[in-house]
Amino acid sequence: MLISSKTNTRVKQLRAAFDGNARLGGGLVAIEGLHLLEEALRSGIVPETVFLVDGREVPELPRGVEVVRLTEAVFRSAVETPSPQGVAALIAPPSFGMEDALVGTPLLVIAAGLQDPGNLGTLVRSAEAFGATGVLTTPGTVSAWNQKALRASVGSVFRVPVVGVSTDDLRGLKVRGVRLFAAVGSADGRTESAVDADFAGACALMIGNEGAGLGAEWMELADARVTVPCPGPVESLNAAVAGSVLLYEASRQRAAVHSSHRYKTARTAPAEVAR
């Protein structure tokens, strides 16, 4: 069946999902492009429906997935990008809780009031790249399922626990031994350089709003302030860049601790007796 009407019920649902209208979108999230569809499938997410421009080859899908074909004009009317690839899908977004993010020795990113979806998506991508266990978002932070955020994450949002939190939730982290680092743009007497801070233990990196930085309530919760030293003549780094650099430093420190532990274990292990 080929749908050629822009007012078709299925087309309206797809358009609503792209617009972020959860009610009209049936609680589903829209994704566009073959790569994001493949990332969703790789993450174990089975699409509810796949929409294809008429004539486009059906990608490899699990059995039972509904495939709906649209004329090119109708497809373009429903999606967001100006040059669509001709494939979109409706998925049920994964549901994560705080416990999903508190595994092992937690390494968390706290997005405190980030409003640029590209920044949030990039942080989610960096979180996965550098082994963070989750991304926590405070009220006022853009949704990780915003279309720009989703594309910027390049599929990492399907796998990294992204969890909405309150001030009380962050206080609960401190009770559980998670140290909160507030990322600031410039150093003062109370600020550590990222290379001197200890990210090897359970910790969370708090990244503030692009323009205003971290609000007073978040700064009061912080156990320490940390900055990325910049020898160049810039006032501060972009929020996503700063967060990514801090995540890299945390990953580097943790890898060094792990390597040192393996070396000490090998040195102290009893030698095998030859028989």
Domain end among 57, 91, 125? 91
Average pLDDT on 103-109 reads 97
Query: Cα–Cα–Cα angle for 10, 61, 144, nearest 5°?
Result: 65
Tokens of residue 5, six digits: 């009407």
| Domain that includes residue 75, residue range | 2-91
Confidence bin at 267 (pLDDT 50/70/90): low
Residue 190: predicted pLDDT: 81
- Give tens-digit pLDDT for 115-145: 999 999 999 999 999 999 999 999 999 999 9
Query: Cα–Cα–Cα angle for 257, 120, 221, nearest 5°?
Result: 65
By CB atoms closer than 10 A (0-12, 13-18, 19+), residue 38 is: middle
Residue 105: predicted pLDDT: 96
On whether residue 37 sits in a domain, the answer given is yes
| Same domain membership, residue 115 and residue 76 | no
On whether residue 270 sits in a domain, the answer given is no
- Cα distance from N-terminal residue to C-terminal residue, the chain: 74
- Give tens-digit pLDDT for 31-67: 999 999 999 999 999 999 999 999 999 999 999 999 9
Residue 100: predicted pLDDT: 97
Average pLDDT on 249-262 reads 82
> Residue 127 belongs to a domain with what CATH number?
3.40.1280.10
| Same domain membership, residue 139 and residue 234 | yes
| Same domain membership, residue 107 and residue 207 | yes
Whether residue 258 is predicted with pLDDT greater than 90 in this model: the reply is no
Whether residue 263 is predicted with pLDDT greater than 70 in this model: the reply is no
| Same domain membership, residue 69 and residue 104 | no
Cβ-contact 72, 4 below 8 angstroms: no
Q: What is the C-alpha to C-alpha distance for residues 161 and 164, in angstroms, rounded to an integer?
A: 10
Q: What is the C-alpha to C-alpha distance for residues 174 and 11, in angstroms, rounded to an integer?
A: 46
Residue with more model confidence, 213 or 78: 78
Average pLDDT on 145-168 reads 96
On whether residue 273 sits in a domain, the answer given is no
**pTM for this prediction:** 0.89
Residue 236: predicted pLDDT: 72
Nearest Cα residue to 142 out of 79, 206, 210:
210
Domain end among 91, 112, 147? 91
Residue 81: predicted pLDDT: 85
Strands (E), the chain: 2-3, 29-32, 49-53, 66-70, 87-91, 107-112, 134-137, 162-164, 179-183, 191-193, 203-208, 224-227
Q: What is the C-alpha to C-alpha distance for residues 70 and 75, in angstroms, rounded to an integer?
A: 6
Element spanning 261, H or E: helix 239-268
